[in-house]
């Protein structure tokens, strides 16, 4: 910074070279412009699109309720799926072969089954047993063995009541998501330098704290981008809820209007626009999450640092 001011050096002559020409880029631009114009022309002139009809109907009450169900289902299924995934990932990395094996079997099973099959099955659990009871395992067998009557059960639920509609759908989607999330979380955990866990343990931190405070926050950087993919995939997969069936869901409601009014194309376009909008919303959320967990990895100045630097700058001018 301390350049000798008495003899200012002559500024170097700036280079003014002829830039390389890129005719290919101009040709590509022209082709794309023409294609885009053709596309817009089609949208504007084909009467089948029925834009007025679409706008009038894509925000009707049932559609809005459907959009709400779709969003809530996406968020809940992802939340449960990610929690399940963290547990499964930690199990998978366990030194205990039975625990690790159990997680492997879960992941193997739920990754293999199509979601629509899972949804259909979870909706049919009421047919498997009509009541679901919580209690001591093998209680009746044990009681029989010792010559007692009765059972040790404290909670009884009607299978047909529980496993239908929203709950059945949530169960199927969340269990399926758990398997995918587990693999993503495992990759994230394994991407963290083992020296980090060592340093935490050398400070006397327990395994659980080391995982929660040190390893997982760093794993998040690796976890979030694929988890964003998963969330958008989940948003779209809520349209599979028809297998349960859950009918107050976005895609079903839009299609229902389309078939009732024989305006299939406008409502299909409305569906596309709705999913685009909702996915964009989720992408905004992802952006902020990525920013939050990239702390300490970019070269961005933190708020305190900016304040400290300004204070220094102000101080040094006096």
Which spans of this chain sit near another protein (rule: CB under 8 A)? Answer: 193, 195-196, 198-207, 209, 213-214, 217-218, 293, 295-297, 299, 302, 304-305, 308, 312
CB-nearer residue toward another protein: 206 or 229: 206
CB-nearer residue toward another protein: 133 or 198: 198
Helices (H), the chain: 23-45, 51-57, 61-92, 97-112, 115-123, 125-128, 139-146, 159-162, 165-191, 194-202, 207-209, 216-237, 250-261, 264-293, 303-317
Quote the CA–CA distance of 140 and 279 in Å, as a whole number. Answer: 50
- Cβ of residue 298: shortest distance to another protein, in angstroms? 8
Token look-up 């459907």 returns 66
**Structure tokens that stand for 169 in this block:** 């759908």
- Cβ of residue 165: shortest distance to another protein, in angstroms? 41
CB-nearer residue toward another protein: 47 or 194: 194
The DSSP output letter for 210 is I
CA atoms within 13 A on the CB side of 55: 2
CB-nearer residue toward another protein: 151 or 193: 193
- Cβ of residue 248: shortest distance to another protein, in angstroms? 41
- Cβ of residue 206: shortest distance to another protein, in angstroms? 5
CB-nearer residue toward another protein: 155 or 202: 202
- Cβ of residue 295: shortest distance to another protein, in angstroms? 6
CB-nearer residue toward another protein: 47 or 204: 204
166 touches 73 (CB < 8 A): yes
Residue 147 zone, left/alpha/beta (φ > 0; ψ -120 to 50; rest): left
- Cβ of residue 236: shortest distance to another protein, in angstroms? 32
CB atoms within 10 A of CB 292: 11
């Amino acid at each position: 910074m301390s350049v000798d001011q008495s003899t200012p050096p002559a500024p170097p002559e700036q280079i003014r070279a002829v830039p390389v020409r890129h005719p290919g880029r101009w040709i590509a631009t022209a082709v794309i412009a023409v294609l885009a114009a053709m596309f817009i022309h089609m949208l504007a002139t084909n009467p089948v699109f029925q834009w007025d009809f679409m706008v009038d109907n894509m925000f009707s009450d049932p559609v809005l309720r459907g959009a709400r169900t779709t969003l809530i289902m996406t968020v809940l299924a992802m939340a449960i799926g990610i929690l399940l995934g963290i547990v499964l990932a930690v199990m998978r990395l366990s030194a205990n072969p039975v625990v690790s094996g159990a997680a492997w079997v879960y992941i193997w099973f739920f990754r293999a089954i199509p979601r629509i099959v899972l949804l259909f099955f979870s909706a049919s659990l009421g047919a498997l047993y009509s009541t679901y009871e919580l209690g001591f395992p093998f209680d009746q067998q044990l009681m029989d063995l010792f010559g007692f009557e009765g059972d040790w059960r404290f909670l009884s639920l009607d299978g047909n009541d529980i496993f239908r509609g929203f709950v059945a759908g949530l169960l199927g989607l969340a269990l399926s998501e758990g398997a995918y999330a587990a693999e993503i979380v495992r990759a994230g955990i394994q991407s963290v330098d083992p020296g980090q866990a060592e340093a935490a343990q050398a400070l006397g931190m327990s395994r659980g704290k080391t995982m929660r405070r040190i390893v997982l926050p760093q794993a998040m950087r690796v976890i979030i981008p694929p988890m964003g993919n998963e969330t958008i995939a989940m948003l779209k997969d809520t349209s599979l809820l028809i297998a349960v069936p859950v009918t107050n869901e976005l895609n079903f409601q839009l299609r229902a209007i389309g078939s009732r009014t024989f305006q299939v194309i406008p409502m299909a376009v409305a569906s596309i626009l709705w999913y685009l909008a909702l996915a964009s919303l989720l992408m905004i959320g992802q952006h902020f999450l990525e920013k939050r967990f990239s702390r300490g990895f970019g070269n961005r100045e933190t708020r305190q640092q900016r304040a400290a630097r300004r204070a220094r700058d102000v101080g040094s001018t006096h």
